[in-house]
Amino acid sequence: MPRRVRPVSHEDQLTLVEHLDELRSRLVVCIAVFGVALALCFWQNNLLLEIAAHPLPEGHKKLITFGVTEPFTTTLTVSAYAAIILSLPVWLWQLYAYVLPAFSPSEKRMVLPILFLFPILLLAGVAFSYFVVMPAAVSFLLNFNDNQFNVQVRARDYYSFFSMTELAGALVFQLPLAILAVTRLGIMSVEQFSKNRRYAYLIITIIAAALPGVDPISMLLEMVPLLILFELSILIARFFGRPRERGGAVEPSPQ
């Protein structure tokens, strides 16, 4: 049985075995949280499936399945994706609590704003994907050459597309957090981001093309907020992301 997770201070000296034991304990917590979230989502799977099918037009809300096991496996997959999104804040906290003792007091002050930004950006990404990207993408894809095809929407394919789009939205909206982290920790400066803006635009375009959705509408709808988030990230980092040059020297860590 793993030992109970206890707070570790910056001054504590832990052996490799103690570090691994703490890591195992926090992994158990993460797995337990995911299990509870999965059970909750599977219990409310009808509500989840209704929410996921909402972007579909009226004529396509009754999805089709092939095979005896597909309704169960599709429902379980959707519940698992929803459980991942619900578990992300707890996973982040466990990761932060694990590496927290290695941070000096000045480094903790740098990391805390980043920690608080994570759930806000996650919810914003999920909401943007649900209310903006999904309706536009579904409308475009279902009406493309619809006079040439008998369009039937398969449950497994649609819910997989929906889940990946929501998860991708939650992740790509962490761009300000990533830029703020590397600037506050002194890995890159705000001036470097500004000077290499054109390369960042190219990378953002590639990321938008690689995200779920094969249509140009989804790509544009995912690329525009990324560009806005990048510029917003530079502004945020310009005010809050500069590492302290005086009185904020990083203290050596005993970890």
Q: pLDDT by residue for the chain (255 residues), tens digit each?
A: 444 555 555 455 556 676 678 788 889 999 999 999 999 999 999 999 999 888 888 877 788 888 888 889 999 998 998 898 889 888 878 877 777 766 666 666 666 666 777 788 888 888 888 898 888 888 888 887 878 888 888 888 898 888 888 888 888 888 877 777 777 767 777 788 788 888 888 888 887 777 665 567 767 777 888 888 888 888 877 776 555 543 444 444 444
Q: Please answer whether residues 153 and 56 qualify as being in contact, where contact means their C-beta atoms are separated by less than 8 angstroms.
A: yes
Tens digit of pLDDT for each residue in 102-120? 666 666 666 666 677 778 8
Domains contained in the chain, number:
1
Asked, for residue 67, whether it belongs to a domain, the answer is yes
d(C-alpha 206, C-alpha 222), whole Å: 11
Asked, for residue 86, whether it belongs to a domain, the answer is yes
Q: Please answer whether residues 194 and 253 qualify as being in contact, where contact means their C-beta atoms are separated by less than 8 angstroms.
A: no
Asked, for residue 254, whether it belongs to a domain, the answer is no
Tally of CB atoms within 10 A around 145: 7
State residue 215's pLDDT score: 63
Asked, for residue 2, whether it belongs to a domain, the answer is no
Asked, for residue 7, whether it belongs to a domain, the answer is no
Asked, for residue 8, whether it belongs to a domain, the answer is no
Residue 81 is part of which domain span? 16-240
HEC profile of 161-207: HHHHHHHHHHHHCCHHHHHHHHHHCCCCCHHHHHHCHHHHHHHHHHH
Alpha helices, DSSP H only, in the chain?
Answer: 16-43, 45-53, 70-99, 105-128, 134-143, 155-172, 175-184, 190-195, 197-210, 216-240
Tally of CB atoms within 10 A around 15: 8
State residue 212's pLDDT score: 63
Asked, for residue 40, whether it belongs to a domain, the answer is yes
Asked, for residue 179, whether it belongs to a domain, the answer is yes
State residue 249's pLDDT score: 45
State residue 98's pLDDT score: 75
d(C-alpha 137, C-alpha 133), whole Å: 6
- DSSP letter at 159 equals H
Instruction: Compute the half-sphere exposure of residue 98: CA atoms within 13 Å on the CB side of its CA.
Output: 19
State residue 246's pLDDT score: 39
For the chain, how far is it from start to end, CA to CA, in angstroms?
25
State residue 1's pLDDT score: 44
State residue 72's pLDDT score: 92
Check: pTM over 0.75? Answer yes or no.
Answer: no
